[in-house]
Each structure stands twice: as C-alpha cells, then as structure tokens.
Amino acid sequence: MELILKQDVQNLGFKDDIVDVKNGYGRNFLIPTGAAHMATTSAKKVLAENLKQKAHKEKKVVDEATKVAEAIKQLEIKIKAKSGAADKLFGSVTNIDLANSLEKAGKSVDKKYITIQGGSIKRTGAYTAKIRLHREVIFDFPFEVIGGK
C-alpha cells in the first residue's frame, strides 16, 4: 500500500514522503490516526506541486538548522550521575538527560530527536549521540558522563 505521510513517523519516513507499507499498518494505524493518506495519482501531482513551492522555504529552514547544529557542536556537555564501583552508574543516562543538559546550556532540542545508541548509558565515559534537527541536518554530538556522589 502506497501512502503519503502527513507528519514525521519514527522509523518510517518524514512528512510528504511517499512510503510503501503493509496494508494492515496503513489501514489500521497510519490512516485512522491522520499520519498518512492514500497516494493516488492526483494526490501525487498535488504533492509534487506543493514540494516545488516549499523548496525555497525549505532551504532557509535547512540553513537555520545547520547554524544551530554548528552552535551545538561547540558545546562541551558533561552529565553528572551517581556512580559506584568500576564506574558503574546507579540508574542510567538517557536522551532525556542529554536534552535537559542541552537546555541548561541554552540550546533546546526535543528529546525525541536525540538518539543514544543502546538507548541508555550505564557506565561513565565519553559517548556520542545522534541529533536530528531537520531531515537533512543530522549530526553526531560527543558528550561525557562523569561519576559523582
């Protein structure tokens, strides 16, 4: 089943993408929740025209996201967490903690756009996270988890 996405869908695609999904997923989830609509011939023509009109505006948005990405890359984030023996943390550090640390540094990034490999960190050390500010602006952000009491 071919669908046109009305909004970003995690692990599937971005807004205005034409995606091919299984019939049940499209009929029972994507279409009823308003995340997508059928990709008919006329809908594809309308989408192509809309994308042409958005191309110029999109360039400005990408340039702005690139500037923000460069500013975030300059930051040096150290997340403090309680740790025990052998640098093992009590609890874990997740994308929520990294989003909060970026917020304190003055750069707001929604937690759903931050991906830490493995989902959570359970030991101190240096790590990297992928941050997505736009579909074309995805970068690796290094940060450090330090132990404390």
Least confident residue range of 5-14, 54-63, 88-97, 127-136: 54-63
Rounded to whole angstroms, how far apart are CA atoms 6 and 12? 12
Q: Is the pTM value of this prediction over 0.85?
A: no
The two tokens of residue 22 are 């299984």
Whether 149 shows a pLDDT value over 80: the answer reads no
Mean pLDDT of 105-120: 88
Q: Which CATH architecture group holds 2-67?
A: 3-Layer(aba) Sandwich (3.40)
CB crowding 64-85: b at 16 or more within 10 Å, else e: ebeebbeebeeeebebebebee
Quickly name the fold that domain 70-148 has: Ribosomal Protein L9; domain 2 (3.10.430)
SS3 17: coil
SS3 89: strand
Q: Where are the domains of the chain?
A: 2-67, 70-148
pLDDT tens column, 81-106? 898 888 898 889 999 999 999 999 88
